[in-house]
């Protein structure tokens, strides 16, 4: 086993779209696990839009990354040394507390064992992890779709969006994908079962294009982006529509505050409900969500596309990639080979 641990630490808080130079790659000695802790070798690291919020200097729902600290992020890895009887060497574990590093010392709280029999272990970062659970609870608990309703999903082929569309179809809804590339939209329709797709980069009049894809209006809007897509959907809401504010990737990289058209009048006219969502609020129900998602994956009802970059050194590039919408499917970085088993 190597003695050095490579880590990415934050070099500066980006203003606008992050650059690779906003992080520094450093080497430190591999830490020793304390009593009750485990030392884990990183196999996969997740790359998610929420990370943009963690490197902003402003207050958010979670503590942000300070200059010089290891960049935050979730991962999947192999236990190489355990000082906790609940974990043994060779176990595969998932945690939000990996950070961008090749080895990590984890505490048992928040560390979940991954059973390789349930699918590829990297699914614990996607369809059988935080993005899948986000789609499941946000759509079903906040969106409350009814059969026959129309569900519009922004960032529809992303880590969350692709699961949302498929659950909307399972719930008997019309599912409409909004994404920024025609090949993503073609795949959403052919492979995921979305009924229609709109390319927000080429549509021209975005409101008219989404309206044409939603002949009965919009009942549920699963908002992963905010920004212009949201502006266009607001004019198409049916009475008592529900808007799930899950992400805001289209505006999180804009320098300064997000200034634009405001919708208080729409709220009153449509009596819609806008609600913010964070998956951690449902931590006590993760088992329920994972059972449902796992069953659908096993039955072939839930497909999941991943976009894999090989090599720990590419972490900053991978994050910038998803902030620009260049990924196609759930973005992962392969850090080291999985153990043979």
Which residues make Cβ contacts (< 8 Å) with residue 142, sequence separation at least 6? 242, 244, 275, 277
DSSP state string for 32-90: PP-TT-EEEEEEEEE--THHHHHTSSS--SS--PPTTSBPP--EEEEEEEESSTT--TT
- Please identify, using beta-carbon distances, which residue of 59 and 340 lies nearer to its own copies: 59
Report in angstroms how near the CB of residue 149 gets to its own copies at its nearest.
18
Which residue in the block uniquely carries the two structure tokens 């607001």? 234
Report in angstroms how near the CB of residue 119 gets to its own copies at its nearest.
29
- Please identify, using beta-carbon distances, which residue of 42 and 72 lies nearer to its own copies: 72
| Distance from C-alpha of 156 to C-alpha of 224, rounded to nearest angstrom | 8
**Three-state DSSP class for residue 54:** helix
Taking CB under 8 A as the criterion, the residue among 86, 212, 269, 283 binding its own copies is 269
Report in angstroms how near the CB of residue 145 gets to its own copies at its nearest.
17
- Please identify, using beta-carbon distances, which residue of 118 and 273 lies nearer to its own copies: 273
Residue 273 binds its own copies, judged by CB under 8 A: yes
Q: Which of 138, 161, 139, 162 is closest to 149 using CA atoms? A: 139
- Please identify, using beta-carbon distances, which residue of 4 and 146 lies nearer to its own copies: 146
Span near its own copies by CB under 8 A; candidates 67-75, 166-174, 272-280, 298-306: 272-280
| Distance from C-alpha of 326 to C-alpha of 181, rounded to nearest angstrom | 9
- Mask of contacts with its own copies, 228-267, x by CB under 8 A? --x--------------xxxx--xx----xxxxxx-xxxx
Taking CB under 8 A as the criterion, the residue among 27, 275, 288, 310 binding its own copies is 275
Report in angstroms how near the CB of residue 201 gets to its own copies at its nearest.
20
| Distance from C-alpha of 245 to C-alpha of 235, rounded to nearest angstrom | 16
| Distance from C-alpha of 75 to C-alpha of 335, rounded to nearest angstrom | 10
8 A C-beta contact, residue 278 and residue 61 = yes
**Three-state DSSP class for residue 218:** strand
The size of the interface with its own copies (CB under 8 A), counted in residues, is 35
Residues in 211-230 that interact with its own copies by CB under 8 A: 223, 226, 230
Span near its own copies by CB under 8 A; candidates 21-29, 58-66, 286-294, 315-323: 58-66
Q: What single-letter DSSP state applies at residue 118? A: G
Q: What residue ranges bind its own copies (CB under 8 A)?
A: 53, 59-61, 223, 226, 230, 245-248, 251-252, 257-262, 264-278, 281
């Amino acid at each position: 086993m190597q003695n050095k641990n490579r880590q990415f630490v934050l070099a500066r808080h980006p203003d606008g779209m992050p650059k690779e130079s906003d992080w520094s790659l450093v080497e430190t000695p591999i830490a020793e696990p304390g009593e009750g802790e485990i030392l884990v070798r990183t196999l996969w690291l997740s790359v998610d839009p929420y990370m943009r919020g963690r490197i902003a200097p402003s207050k958010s729902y979670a503590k942000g990354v300070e200059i010089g600290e290891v960049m935050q992020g979730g991962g999947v890895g192999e236990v190489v040394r355990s000082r906790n009887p609940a974990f043994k060497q060779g176990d595969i574990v998932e945690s939000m507390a990996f950070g961008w590093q090749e080895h990590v010392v984890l505490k048992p709280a928040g560390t979940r064992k991954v059973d390789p029999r349930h699918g590829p272990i990297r699914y614990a970062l996607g369809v059988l992890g935080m993005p899948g659970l986000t789609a499941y609870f946000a759509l079903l608990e906040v969106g409350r779709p009814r059969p026959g309703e129309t569900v519009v999903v922004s960032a529809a082929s992303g880590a969350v969006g692709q699961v949302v569309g498929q659950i909307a179809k399972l719930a008997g809804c019309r599912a409409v994908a909004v994404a920024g590339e025609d090949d993503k939209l073609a795949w959403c329709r052919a492979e995921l079962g979305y009924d229609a797709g709109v390319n927000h980069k080429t549509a021209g009049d975005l409101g008219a294009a989404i309206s044409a894809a939603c002949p009965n209006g919009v009942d549920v809007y699963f908002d992963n982006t905010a920004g212009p897509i949201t502006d266009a959907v607001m004019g198409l809401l049916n009475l008592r529509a529900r808007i799930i504010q899950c992400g805001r990737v289209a505006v999180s990289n804009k320098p300064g505050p997000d200034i634009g058209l405001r919708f208080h009048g729409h709220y009153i006219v449509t009596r819609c409900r806008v609600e913010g969502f964070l998956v951690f609020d449902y931590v006590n129900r993760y088992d329920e969500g994972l059972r449902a998602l796992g069953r659908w994956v096993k039955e072939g009802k839930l497909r999941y596309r991943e976009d894999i970059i090989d090599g720990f050194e590419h972490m900053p590039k991978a994050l910038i990639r998803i902030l620009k919408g260049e990924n196609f499917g759930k973005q992962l970085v392969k850090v080291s080979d999985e153990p043979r088993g």
